[in-house]
Amino acid sequence: MHEPIIELHDLTKQYGKFSAVDRINLTVRKGEIFGILGPNGAGKSTTILMMLGLTDPTSGDVKVCGIDSTRNPIQVREKVGYLPEDVGFYDDMTGIENLLYTARLNRIDEKKAQAKARELLERVGLPLDTKKKAGKYSRGMRQRLGLADVLIKNPEVIILDEPTSGIDPAGVQEFMDLIRQLRDENGLTVLFSSHHLDQVQQICDRVGLFGGGKLLAEVNIEELQSEEHGLENMYNRYFGGGKSHE
């Protein structure tokens, strides 16, 4: 439960002179649901991209499952499922075909993949409608399909970048329950980025507060439970204003 899965060490990403991510040190442990909370432009997505080797850090290093993401991104991507913000699918393929394609890219046996894809579709609450093309999916349906897509490779870690955007309130609740279930049953480590205070507060064990590319604070949600509006107060202290949404 306590071995570190994601380790960031002085991680920095600069675009020209501008630091999108500024010397972040962070450790996420196995089996944890870790939330990255921050307003727009805080550097959440950039940090996540570096964890997957989708962009190179300017300095510092990042390890996932003990593997350096910059040097060996492929080994990292074998173990990590990543749901990008505003995920897209191949429009002319059905949901299940999209899942199977991902499974093939992960060298998963075709038969197993078939069964697993069906199971996952049901689990994320998509109809097993085999005719509907992904191009006809609504935003929220795409997001759900995205979660199934992340899970089909049996990852050890899942990294979700604003996964709940576009999902209706009841759907968000199901989504959160599902994430928690996955952690409890399969021991998945979950990294969850969001700018919704309440969602983060609801399912995360720990939260990193991001702002202006810096990690402003690391909070243990349980410790905050005693205070009413604990996280909210904290968020407001850093970012001002009374809004917790957007």
Residue 98 sits in the site that holds Mg ion (CB under 5 A): no
Q: Which is nearer to another protein, 101 or 238 (CB)?
A: 101
Chosen from another protein, Mg ion, ligand ATP, none, partner binding at 32 (C-beta under 5 to 8 Å by type): none
Distance CA 246, CA 244 (A): 7
Chosen from another protein, ligand ATP, Mg ion, none, partner binding at 40 (C-beta under 5 to 8 Å by type): ligand ATP
Q: In this structure, which amino acid lies at residue 7?
A: E
Nearest residue to Mg ion by CB is 45
Residue 183 sits in the site that holds ligand ATP (CB under 6 A): no
Taking CB under 6 A as the criterion, which residues in 187-206 touch ligand ATP?
Answer: 195
Residue 147 sits in the site that holds ligand ATP (CB under 6 A): no
Give the SS3 label for residue 32. Answer: coil
Pattern of binders to Mg ion over 29-48, x per CB under 5 A? Answer: ----------------x---
Residue 88 sits in the site that holds ligand ATP (CB under 6 A): no
Residue with the two structure tokens 């991001």: 210
Q: In this structure, which amino acid lies at residue 42?
A: A
Using alpha carbons, select from 61, 51, 39 the residue that is nearest to residue 213.
39
Using alpha carbons, select from 234, 238, 227, 210 the residue that is nearest to residue 11.
210
Task: Count interface residues toward Mg ion (CB under 5 A).
Answer: 1
Query: What residues contact residue 99 under an 8 Å CB cut-off, 6+ apart?
Result: 113, 117, 120, 121, 145, 148, 149, 152
Rule CB under 6 A: choose which of 5, 34, 37, 46 binds ligand ATP.
Answer: 46
Q: What is the DSSP string of 96-151?
A: HHHHHHHHHHTT--HHHHHHHHHHHHHHTT----SS-BGGG--HHHHHHHHHHHHH
Q: Which is nearer to another protein, 113 or 203 (CB)?
A: 113
Distance CA 11, CA 50 (A): 9
Rule CB under 6 A: choose which of 24, 26, 42, 117 binds ligand ATP.
Answer: 42
Distance CA 165, CA 69 (A): 27
Rule CB under 8 A: choose which of 61, 78, 174, 232 binds another protein.
Answer: 78
Residue 122 sits in the site that holds another protein (CB under 8 A): no
Distance CA 22, CA 79 (A): 26
Q: What does DSSP assign to residue 94?
A: B
Q: Which is nearer to ligand ATP, 81 or 208 (CB)?
A: 208
Residue 94 sits in the site that holds ligand ATP (CB under 6 A): no
- The binding site for ligand ATP (CB under 6 A) comprises 15, 18, 20, 38, 40-46, 85, 195
> Site residues (CB under 8 A) for another protein?
45, 49, 52, 54-56, 74-75, 77-78, 80-82, 84-92, 101-102, 104-110, 146, 149, 153, 161
* Footprint of Mg ion (CB under 5 A): 45
